[in-house]
Structure 1
Amino acid sequence: MNVQTLTGAWHFRQVGTEEWLPATVPGGVHTDLLALGRIPDPFVGDNEKHVQWVAEADWEYRYQFAAEADVLQQLRVWLVCDGLDTLAAVTLNGRFLGQTNNMFRQYRWEVKELLQAEANELVIAFASPVQFITEKQVQRPLPGVSQAIPGGSHLRKAPCQFGWDWGPQLPPIGVWKEIRLEGGGDARLADVHLQQHHADGQVNVSAALSVERWTDEALTARLRVVAPDGEENVGETAVSPTASATVNLPIANPQLWWPNGYGEQPLYQVIVSLHQGDVELDQRVYQLGLRTLKLRQDADEWGRSFEFMVNGVPIFAKGSNWIPADSFPTRISDDYLEMLIRGAAETHQNMLRVWGGGFFEEDRFYDLCDRYGILIWQDFIFSCSVYPLNDPDFLENVRIEVSENVRRLRHRTSLALWCGNNEMEWGWVDWGWKHQSDLDELKIAYDRFFHHTLPEWCAAADPDTAYWPSSPSSDTPFENPNGQQQGDAHYWDVWHGRKPFTAYRSQYPRFMSEFGFQALPPLATIRTYAEEADWNMTSYIMERHQKNDSGNSLMVGQMLDTFRLPKDFSSLVYLSMALQAEGIRYGVEHWRRHRDRVAGTLYWQLNDCWPVASWSSLDYFGRWKALHYAARRFYAPVMLSIEDAPPRQGVYVTSDLRETWEGNLRWSLETLAGEVLAAGEEPVQAAPLAATHIQTYNLKEYVTDDNRRNLVFIAELWQGDRHVTTQTAFFAPTKHLRLIAPAIQATCCHEDGVLYIELAAHSLARLVELSLDGVDVVFSDNYFDLPVGRTITITCPLPAGWQLSQAEAALRIRSVYDSFAN
């Protein structure tokens, strides 16, 4: 197969105008206009509203090119568009090829007879998606998301691009994936289905090929598997007269792939090729990890489990929800994408849920998840809306979309689950849709599609991966989607319902696939969209960058339940992040203490698509919020937690290790100034893949109404002379603690490009935040409690070109005390 990528000197214009402007492909109208200075940056201030006209207009892209000789000389040549967003009419050299209406599909046309050697013109005319959905919504109103441009469910385009409760209304238009010419000979690979078969410690890899052929000559299918150490296995077979073939290949000494934290991630290279004699006609290359993966749903004392099993080992899913990494997807660089996935892995996450309001990610995303050991819960692209699932044309469009993407992703080592949609079953039960009589037919269509049609399509194309109808769901149509007995749950009563963090302890779902709490992004990020005059939670600009109704009020309300009134805006930003971290920690620790019943937690959300106040732990620029540092602790393979019920403090160790963990627990009850009132030490044998209750300490003889605001319970886990982790618990809300200036002392040194910061406090420092002024770095720990009498060392990279003296001058340290004290 010979390929000519069609990138270069593209031009575009608004339909109805004469001026052709330079364009980037892959790209889009917004980013092209922004690069030319024709629109303001939509992410700054309130510019989002000033660029709405862009998506309301029609646009035209044009590319003039010469066809490469090695492509043109092939027997057949196809124009292949991996992604057109969304309503496009494609013309080559004046000949109309076809129209598109689905950004998730690949489109291809045979164009050999239309191509010329020197002068070719490809024109792609894009119609406004906003005008399209607006007209459709007038004809047939469909319920959707209140923060979005109405009618998005009429069009197969990423729902969140029309707006969401964390994202702007900036629907892109353009060629958003690769576009190319493919030249081939007498046959091509139409489909390859890779499977792996495990039995008695042995693995066989099979490749089932479907071939598109225009010759009666003999064809051969070849399968080559290259092990991580370079060892190769090769097998081949003849292609049958029905244009199919299956090649099986045993793998000697198979190296098993494991999720992050459970083992290594060895990846094999798999090459599937099609031959006519000695000539290779087509080839596909894959990476493959050898593993078994199933969703176990067995009856138990609480109902029915919902637990992922990898290589026969029960995995506690530790992770978060993934949204598109940019409102304009073509700006997502390889480095940026890897930074986000690596950030998940560095906090011990082993699962991401690719949320159904975005899009099927590109292959590079799944490559990274395979490499970093991140399992993927893959939603289909339906979210929080009613869709016209009784429209035959709409269904046929979706059928092709599903077929293409399931076949593209089914071999992925990281793929753990196909899920029908996000929150639509919940919507039918609790959001009032069922009371609209004009939607009765669509409710029937929903049931038919997500409980029958879609799972049948999935099973036909990918019989090896489990299917789940909706998230959340109890797997019984329209019945208690957030039930605690089976399936997965979303719990939003803490954020939307304004309940305290302690409400998390009332929940025992079989799998918690969504829950969250908002925070502002770091001040450095706020500076990119708001001037200092706007640094107020109720200012116009701050509310433009808060897409959840009353979100800033909810954040401040919970903040004042926990902390004292912050003295300035910078302190408010710090407390918002600390509050988010504390809330999510509280929930995760509870559910990990009950891992025999709860099999996973995916907090909402990992990342952002623009700079905004949101539920993310990594902001739009990849900066770590307090929650991301907390995740490194509460998702640690060996987690220490305290079930506080003052004056009782229950201490637990939860282990994801596959062998018993042994160490010691050192505990103490102290004043905030470090006076020890009681202390002890316990041996710890933490059972594998389980939560172990170490001890519950009843401290009522030491705790009184007079001193409870001055006490802290400290639990420390040690293994020999190695300190593993520390947890603290208090007997009064943080805002009522008798905090005094902690007088933190910092001593710095550096070696081999690493800055070492040794810290000690004279009084307990609550939620210590470290930063280096003017530069972004990731610390080994941050937003932690620092009791008296402990010296801890925190590390971070020494910024390139910096001397130690610069780092010492730039080091900033604050704690909760500093957020209110003048």
Structure 2
Amino acid sequence: MKTQSLSGAWQFRQAETDEWLPATVPGGVHTDLLALGRIPDPFVGDNERRVQWVAEADWEFRRRFTVDAGLPAQSWVELVGDGLDTLATVSLNGRALGRADNMFRQYRWDVKELLHAGENELLIAFASPVRYAAEQQATRAMPGVSQAIPGGPHLRKAPCQFGWDWGPQLPPIGIWQDIRLEGGDQARLTDVHLRQSHHDGEVDVTATVSVMPDAVGGLTARLQLITPDGQSFAAETVVDDETTTLHLPVLRPQLWWPNGYGEQPLYEAIVTLQRGDIEIERRDYRLGLRTLELRQEEDEWGRSFEFVVNGVPIFAKGSNWIPADSFPTRITDEYLETLIRGAAETHQNMLRVWGGGFYEEERFYDLCDRYGILVWQDFIFSCSVYPLDDAAFLDNVHVEVEENVRRLRHRASLALWCGNNEMEWGWVDWAWPKQRELDDLKVAYDRFFHHTLPAWCAAADPDTTYWPSSPSSDTPFEAPNGQRQGDAHYWDVWHGRQPFTAYRAQYPRFMSEFGFQALPPLATIRAYAAEDDWNMTSYVMEQHQKNASGNSLMVGQMLDTFRLPQDFPSLVYLSMVLQAEGIRYGVEHWRRARDRVAGTLYWQLNDCWPVASWSSLDYFGRWKALHYAARRFYAPLLLSIEDDPPRQGVFVTNDRREPWDGRVRWSLETLAGVGLAGGEQAVQAAGQATTPVGAFDLADYVTDDNRRDLVFIAELWQGDQLQARQAAYFAPTKHLQLVEPRVTADCAGDGQSFHVTLRGRSLARLVEVTLEGADVVFSDNYFDLPAGRAVTVTGDLPAGWDGARVAAALRIRSVYDSFQQHGGN
């Protein structure tokens, strides 16, 4: 096959104007206008509203090109668009090729007879998605999220691009993935389906190869596997039918495991179609050899919901993934890897690709395969009613589903196909059932997500489980957010203003969404708000808070936990540690109940712009306190305290398959480090289980007079190595008798990295370490530093820095500093 990329330099203009401007493809109108200085940065201040006109207008893109030599002589030549966003009319040399109306699909048009020997002109006219949505909404209203431009469900475009409760209303327009010419022999591959069968320690890899029906004859199909250590073996067969299957046994397979359970060896699979010695077409894949099932078995609590890989039950530790930029063509390979690696570095083994975004590009799944991140893949339907009774809409979606399932089904990381996000919950518990005019669309929903879509999935990918909605009990319209079976979303702590302790009343079989908001780090706020706007209720700060009551919910819970912050930087810090503490409280509870709860995916990993949100990594990839906390609460060996003052229960949760032996030391002491009680005991923590260490009733020591001055500390030791430390208190943090901890820091650098050893004269609560003028990921951060103990954190030295510069730039903050500059209570 011959290809000619048409990506690169294009021109664009607003429809019905005469000025053609330079454009970049892949790209879009907003990013092109921004590069030219024609619009202000939509992410700064309130510029989002100043650029609304862009998506309300029609636009045209054109490219003039000469066809590569040899391409016109091919038996067929097609124009291929991997991603046209979204309402596009395509013309070549003045002749209409066709229309596109789905950003998730690939489009192909026969252009062999239309290409010229000299200059050719490709013109793509994009109609406004906002105007289209409004027109369709006027015909029949589709309920959706309140923060979005109405009418988005009528269009096969990323729902969140119309706005969400963490995202701006900036729907892109343009060519967002590769566009090219392809040409080749009459014989061509129409499908390759790779599968694997495991038995008796061996794996049989098969490739079912489909070719054009009129091209059968004189063809050979070949499957080659290259092992992770470079060995190669192959099978080939004559193609004597439209569909041919090749088999390759792998005798000593290297198995692929999720992050934390083993390695991620990847085999290279190469499928070629040949005529004699001539290679007609080639497709390359990466395969991880593994078995994966969603195990649902009756038990004493209902029915389990547990992912099992290579026969080993996996506790799913992860988060929810949203598009990494409102303008996805700006996402670099380096940035994308920073986010996925950040998940892996915090022991996450699953990401849920949420149904309000889009099916991610190949590079996303490449990274998940490499880092051992299982993917819960939603289809792109979220929080809305869709016109699933419309035949043309369904035909469009059918192509979308088939293309994306075929594209991703071979992935080692692919764990689940999920029909939608929160729509079944909407039909049961939201306002939709009260709107009788929607009754027919509920019937259409039932037919599509419980019958049509699973049938499409099973036909294209019989090896991956289909799940109808998230949350769901897998019984249509019955307790979709229940705790007996299926997965659950729990939002009462955020939207319902319940305390963090409410998490402990929840025992879902799988917690696929829950979360709490925080502001991003101050360095990120500087990117969109001037210092004069540094106030939670300022106009600009509220423009970067898309949840209607978000700032008040954040502050309300903050004042339940902490004292009133003395300034805005302190408020930013408190918002982040509040988020971290809340999510920690929930995850530790569910991990202690791992025989009943099989996974937690917090909302959300990442952001699409700089904003107050539920993310643990902000738009610039900066680690919020939650991300550091995740490294601790998702650690394979978790020490946790179930606090019920004056009683403190200590537990060790071990995700490893092998048991762990060590010791737990505990102490009750004053904030100044004076010990009142303590002890030590050996612990053998069984593999893949939670082991209770002890329940320490400290009523004889804790009184109304001293509870504000006490801390319970538990430490996990193996030999002379401290594995984990936890602290619990007998009064809310805001009531603790904190004094100035006078934290000292000893810094040193060795050319590549640095380390900082911290000590304090009194307990420092939730210590934050930063370097002024540099973004650094520390080995640990936002931790409690008890009196008389030392904590050493490390990090990579910024370019050109040494230990002395680290010492000069080091900034240390704790809860005490958030309300008081100097000594006192």
> Aligned letter for 1:94?
G
Aligned positions of 1:615-630 closer than 5 A: 615-630=614-629
Contact 1:104 1:156 in 2 (8 A): yes
What secondary structure sits across from 2:188 in the alignment? strand
What secondary structure sits across from 1:187 in the alignment? coil
- CA distance in 2 between counterparts of 1:283 and 1:268 reads 16
What secondary structure sits across from 1:713 in the alignment? strand
> Aligned letter for 2:284?
V
Please report how far the alpha carbon of residue 788 of structure 1 lies from its aligned counterpart in structure 2 after TM superposition.
Answer: 1.1
- CA distance in 1 between counterparts of 2:147 and 2:197 reads 46
Contact 1:518 1:613 in 2 (8 A): yes
> Aligned letter for 2:598?
A
Moved over 3 A (4+): 213-217
> Match for residue 44 of structure 1?
44
**Structure 2 alignment gaps of length 5 or more:** none
- CA distance in 2 between counterparts of 1:128 and 1:239 reads 46
Please report how far the alpha carbon of residue 216 of structure 1 lies from its aligned counterpart in structure 2 after TM superposition.
Answer: 5.1
> Match for residue 524 of structure 2?
525
Contact 1:608 1:616 in 2 (8 A): yes
What secondary structure sits across from 1:389 in the alignment? coil
> Match for residue 240 of structure 1?
240
Query: Are the structure 2 counterparts of residues 111 and 574 from structure 1 closer, same or farther at C-alpha, using a change threshold of 3 Å?
Result: same
What secondary structure sits across from 1:398 in the alignment? helix
> Match for residue 635 of structure 1?
634
Please report how far the alpha carbon of residue 2 of structure 1 lies from its aligned counterpart in structure 2 after TM superposition.
Answer: 1.1
> Match for residue 27 of structure 1?
27
Please report how far the alpha carbon of residue 324 of structure 1 lies from its aligned counterpart in structure 2 after TM superposition.
Answer: 0.2
Please report how far the alpha carbon of residue 667 of structure 1 lies from its aligned counterpart in structure 2 after TM superposition.
Answer: 0.5
Aligned positions of 1:329-478 closer than 5 A: 329-478=328-477
> Match for residue 96 of structure 2?
96
> Match for residue 751 of structure 1?
750
**What TM-score do the two structures reach when normalised by structure 2?**
0.99
What secondary structure sits across from 1:553 in the alignment? helix
Q: Deviations over 1:453-484 (max 9, x none)?
A: 10010001000000100000111111111110
- CA distance in 1 between counterparts of 2:152 and 2:216 reads 47
> Match for residue 507 of structure 2?
508
Please report how far the alpha carbon of residue 74 of structure 1 lies from its aligned counterpart in structure 2 after TM superposition.
Answer: 1.8
Aligned positions of 1:56-205 closer than 5 A: 56-205=56-205
**Structure 1 alignment gaps of length 5 or more:** none
- CA distance in 1 between counterparts of 2:550 and 2:126 reads 36
- CA distance in 2 between counterparts of 1:216 and 1:293 reads 35
Q: Deviations over 1:662-705 (max 9, x none)?
A: 11101000000000001110101111011111111111100000
Aligned positions of 1:543-558 closer than 5 A: 543-558=542-557
> Match for residue 272 of structure 2?
273
Please report how far the alpha carbon of residue 212 of structure 1 lies from its aligned counterpart in structure 2 after TM superposition.
Answer: 1.7
Please report how far the alpha carbon of residue 213 of structure 1 lies from its aligned counterpart in structure 2 after TM superposition.
Answer: 5.4
> Aligned letter for 1:163?
G
Please report how far the alpha carbon of residue 400 of structure 1 lies from its aligned counterpart in structure 2 after TM superposition.
Answer: 0.6
- CA distance in 2 between counterparts of 1:367 and 1:361 reads 10
Please report how far the alpha carbon of residue 75 of structure 1 lies from its aligned counterpart in structure 2 after TM superposition.
Answer: 1.8
Contact 1:233 1:251 in 2 (8 A): no
Contact 2:756 2:793 in 1 (8 A): yes
> Match for residue 311 of structure 2?
312
- CA distance in 1 between counterparts of 2:45 and 2:656 reads 47
The answer to whether residue 608 in structure 2 is matched with residue 594 in structure 1 is no
Please report how far the alpha carbon of residue 57 of structure 1 lies from its aligned counterpart in structure 2 after TM superposition.
Answer: 0.3
> Aligned letter for 2:188?
R
- CA distance in 1 between counterparts of 2:657 and 2:517 reads 34
Contact 1:88 1:126 in 2 (8 A): yes
Contact 1:168 1:547 in 2 (8 A): yes
Contact 1:770 1:811 in 2 (8 A): yes
Aligned positions of 1:733-744 closer than 5 A: 733-744=732-743
- CA distance in 2 between counterparts of 1:575 and 1:71 reads 62
- CA distance in 2 between counterparts of 1:212 and 1:569 reads 65
- CA distance in 1 between counterparts of 2:750 and 2:358 reads 44
Q: Deviations over 1:574-596 (max 9, x none)?
A: 00000000000000000000000
Please report how far the alpha carbon of residue 116 of structure 1 lies from its aligned counterpart in structure 2 after TM superposition.
Answer: 1.9
- CA distance in 2 between counterparts of 1:158 and 1:791 reads 48
Contact 1:149 1:163 in 2 (8 A): yes
What secondary structure sits across from 1:681 in the alignment? strand
> Match for residue 610 of structure 1?
609
> Match for residue 490 of structure 1?
489
- CA distance in 2 between counterparts of 1:466 and 1:695 reads 40
Contact 2:216 2:240 in 1 (8 A): no
- CA distance in 1 between counterparts of 2:87 and 2:583 reads 41
- CA distance in 2 between counterparts of 1:300 and 1:238 reads 51
- CA RMSD of the aligned region, Å? 0.7
The answer to whether residue 196 in structure 2 is matched with residue 222 in structure 1 is no
> Aligned letter for 2:309?
V
Q: Deviations over 1:524-569 (max 9, x none)?
A: 0000000000000000000000000110000000000000000000
What secondary structure sits across from 2:43 in the alignment? coil
> Match for residue 13 of structure 1?
13
> Aligned letter for 1:711?
L
Contact 1:69 1:117 in 2 (8 A): no
What secondary structure sits across from 1:349 in the alignment? coil
What secondary structure sits across from 1:41 in the alignment? coil
What secondary structure sits across from 2:630 in the alignment? helix
Contact 1:663 1:717 in 2 (8 A): yes
> Aligned letter for 1:266?
P
- CA distance in 2 between counterparts of 1:93 and 1:190 reads 28
- CA distance in 2 between counterparts of 1:76 and 1:151 reads 39
What secondary structure sits across from 2:584 in the alignment? helix
Please report how far the alpha carbon of residue 799 of structure 1 lies from its aligned counterpart in structure 2 after TM superposition.
Answer: 0.8
> Match for residue 713 of structure 1?
712
Contact 1:664 1:684 in 2 (8 A): yes
The answer to whether residue 216 in structure 2 is matched with residue 210 in structure 1 is no
What secondary structure sits across from 1:34 in the alignment? helix
What secondary structure sits across from 2:713 in the alignment? strand
Contact 2:13 2:60 in 1 (8 A): yes
Query: Are the structure 2 counterparts of residues 188 and 284 from structure 1 closer, same or farther at C-alpha, using a change threshold of 3 Å?
Result: same
- CA distance in 2 between counterparts of 1:54 and 1:797 reads 42
- CA distance in 2 between counterparts of 1:718 and 1:117 reads 75
- CA distance in 2 between counterparts of 1:182 and 1:475 reads 43
> Match for residue 697 of structure 1?
696
Please report how far the alpha carbon of residue 72 of structure 1 lies from its aligned counterpart in structure 2 after TM superposition.
Answer: 2.6
Contact 2:8 2:26 in 1 (8 A): no
> Aligned letter for 1:17?
T
> Aligned letter for 1:687?
A
- CA distance in 2 between counterparts of 1:107 and 1:658 reads 47
Please report how far the alpha carbon of residue 214 of structure 1 lies from its aligned counterpart in structure 2 after TM superposition.
Answer: 4.6
- CA distance in 1 between counterparts of 2:70 and 2:684 reads 67
> Match for residue 295 of structure 1?
294
Contact 1:765 1:816 in 2 (8 A): yes
What secondary structure sits across from 1:114 in the alignment? coil
**What TM-score do the two structures reach when normalised by structure 1?**
0.99
> Aligned letter for 2:787?
V
> Percent same amino acid among aligned pairs?
74
- CA distance in 1 between counterparts of 2:240 and 2:504 reads 60
Please report how far the alpha carbon of residue 803 of structure 1 lies from its aligned counterpart in structure 2 after TM superposition.
Answer: 2.5
Contact 2:201 2:251 in 1 (8 A): no
- CA distance in 1 between counterparts of 2:114 and 2:217 reads 27
- CA distance in 2 between counterparts of 1:476 and 1:7 reads 47
- CA distance in 2 between counterparts of 1:600 and 1:629 reads 19
Contact 1:677 1:702 in 2 (8 A): yes
Query: Are the structure 2 counterparts of residues 57 and 75 from structure 1 closer, same or farther at C-alpha, using a change threshold of 3 Å?
Result: same
Contact 2:490 2:514 in 1 (8 A): yes
Contact 1:86 1:100 in 2 (8 A): yes
Contact 1:186 1:213 in 2 (8 A): no
- CA distance in 2 between counterparts of 1:318 and 1:238 reads 46
> Match for residue 687 of structure 1?
686
Please report how far the alpha carbon of residue 802 of structure 1 lies from its aligned counterpart in structure 2 after TM superposition.
Answer: 1.1
